[in-house]
């Protein structure tokens, strides 16, 4: 799905097929913003899988790649010195349960990670059990939610799945109508934005206030 698919539909909704009221660059900005909002609400809508090196002798890690919004999963151990050999899968654990079952778990170290837990205070950090060995290079495969590429041309590929096409259109049309000044159509724009959030299983920010 290309950006033109979204923009053509949006222009029909806006009754601006000739591009006289909203330029392509303005609509590209809204479309990029719509993808980012979608990923914020639905983190699995755009993900990257990366192999990262754990911090030696640490139980808490911050090794997410640039542009990552949040960690979704620590998938598996990656062996060899350069982390290219898939190893044992890693189980997600609840940090509170680890704390309750073994108050000294943060002191255990090993050459293979058995479990991981989220850091509820910082979505870009995570815990591993056991902690990374102090003298062995340890690698894990992670899946992260990340910022989609900026859209600048009609032929650019939309990063998120096809199933979100209508929601992207609703966001773009809604923001265009609300922010077009003079002559903004706030009620109609708000209606489109409400439909987008409803489609995502949420209420719009305006309704929460």
In order along the chain (209 residues), what is the average pLDDT of each group of 10 residues?
91 90 92 94 94 89 86 91 87 83 71 87 85 87 92 90 95 90 78 94 65
Contact assessment for residue 193 and residue 32, using Cβ atoms and an 8 Å cutoff: no
The residue among 179, 208, 175 whose CA lies nearest residue 193 is 175
Contact assessment for residue 125 and residue 58, using Cβ atoms and an 8 Å cutoff: no
Contact assessment for residue 126 and residue 117, using Cβ atoms and an 8 Å cutoff: yes
* Alpha carbon distance 101, 113 (integer Å): 18
- Give the 3-state secondary structure of residue 128: strand
**Long-range contacts, stretch 120-125, CB < 8 angstroms, 24+ apart:** 120/95, 122/62, 123/69, 123/70, 123/71, 124/62, 124/64, 124/68, 124/70, 124/71, 125/60, 125/61, 125/62, 125/71
Question: What pLDDT score does 198 carry?
Answer: 94
Instruction: State the CB neighbour count (10 A cutoff) for residue 76.
Output: 17
């Amino acid at each position: 799905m290309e950006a033109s698919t979204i923009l053509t539909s949006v222009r029909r909704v806006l009754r601006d097929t000739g591009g006289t009221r909203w330029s392509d660059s303005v609509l590209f900005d809204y479309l990029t913003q719509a993808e980012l909002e979608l990923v914020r609400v639905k983190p699995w809508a755009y993900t990257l899988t990366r192999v990262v090196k754990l911090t030696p002798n640490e139980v808490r890690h911050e090794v997410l790649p640039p542009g990552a919004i949040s960690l979704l999963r620590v998938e598996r151990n990656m062996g060899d010195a350069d982390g290219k050999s898939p190893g044992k899968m890693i189980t997600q654990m609840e940090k509170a349960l680890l704390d309750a079952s073994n108050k000294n778990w943060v002191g255990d170290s090993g050459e293979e990670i058995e479990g991981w837990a989220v850091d509820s205070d910082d979505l870009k950090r995570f815990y591993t059990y056991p902690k990374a060995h102090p003298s062995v290079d340890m690698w894990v495969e992670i899946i992260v939610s990340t910022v989609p590429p900026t859209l600048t041309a009609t032929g650019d590929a939309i990063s998120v799945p096809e199933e979100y096409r209508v929601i992207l259109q609703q966001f773009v049309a809604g923001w265009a109508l609300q922010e077009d000044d003079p002559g903004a159509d706030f009620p109609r724009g708000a209606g489109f934005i409400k439909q987008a959030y409803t489609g995502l299983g949420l209420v719009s920010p305006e309704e929460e206030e």
